[in-house]
Structure 1
């Protein structure tokens, strides 16, 4: 019992450390967006990450035999939603909106994770959860608009940036639930490799469909600072962070994991304050506090002991 508790605490710290490394993404993205688009950044990262993914999958291909159709659907959600689309949306949010607001809106991620766990994993929710959910939505509104009405002081560009950030939070929250489904069947290295490998074909289609200017991309990649930035972002906020995250997720409840992930926007906010000198107004800080308190209260809610995660078949994904 004591060993299990110790392992769970260790897992939570690994998740928090991995999520904290994601916070380095914001500062790096702002610099790279001067040379390439958000989808191109994510695509280039995954091309580099394939150098890790391919050897791992070849060495551990026997693990893939453990997966059933529901597991493969979960992997598609993680790779296409959490790794590809969410990364593009998050990066695009920095193009349109205030970097701090984009990071602060990641505070709503646990709400999406818990809702999806209730829907797909059939976890029962307490009645007071829904009051907290409404409070979190109000907080998310204030994070987006502050104390202003949507038509008085918030530009369409800022609104798009906030919607991109919320979309990324929803996809990442769902990926937490799907990842929890898979950590008992796959090693953390295999799960990380599958996430990158399955996302790459979709990202390639997205980039080519946008008819990129290959001359501009080639020119950007001829610059040493761009390569240094891209390599660091690929290795630290992407690869190392996810290895730590999936290593910690085994043995930790999804609800606890999604709370630990709040180290992500906290780290990013701190770095943006120090390096990019970004600030937010009073109303947005109030929204930040509301969402944080709602999430904190969620973390204190007891879980229904009858709730279980079904991994024997794909029935609970039939509605997808």
Structure 2
């Protein structure tokens, strides 16, 4: 049995009026297939171009290893030159990914290749972020700490995307005091014997290809899997819903620091307790003892 996932609607292009009316206000995802064909990046951005432009930069790499209590917030698992990393992507599968790599800070010259589209909401111009991954590498299911509105622009290859709104959180085995679901869940091939309540969750799916833009509404859970080596860029706008803004402030000012403190105080026991709690809380919805 597969997850209950509706296909994300697709449009070739969209006016800002239609975007606001049909997707932003009702907080529904959409894929815009031809939204950036006027960007130089649409023609230029591929792995070879990135190797040429930023090949000498050292980049932070992440994989899908379980969270460990000694891991710092967004602490990379490895580092290497971008040229070496892209050669790795192009020659064999790898779990290593780059995420939240700020273009303005790291590679300001790349900003000449794109512009900030007018979707009818104000985009944060200081936070254009790049994400890279090798074939079959993936993120944990998570939502962003600021619960922002995200526009995800994909370049080269194919990327599988699975989304859930915050309303489905109770079915997703969310780990307490964190932004992720239980790490052992494979959302591309879920095991319902171990995760039975997932069957109740209703979400969305799509596959992104070069030049396509995915809009993810405020606080949407997202799981990304690279079907082929490739990369994406995200632009974002702040959450508008007061509840989401309050939750974002709590995440940044309280939750993150509390979790770091508990890792230092209780060590790996804290991580294990959170994972156990995620299973216990969620399985109560089906009266399943764990």
Q: TM-score range by the shorter chain?
A: under 0.3
> Which structure has more RCO (C-alpha within 8 Å, separation ≥ 6)?
1
TM-score, normalised via structure 1 length: 0.25
TM-score, normalised via structure 2 length: 0.26
**Which is helix-richer, 1 or 2?**
1
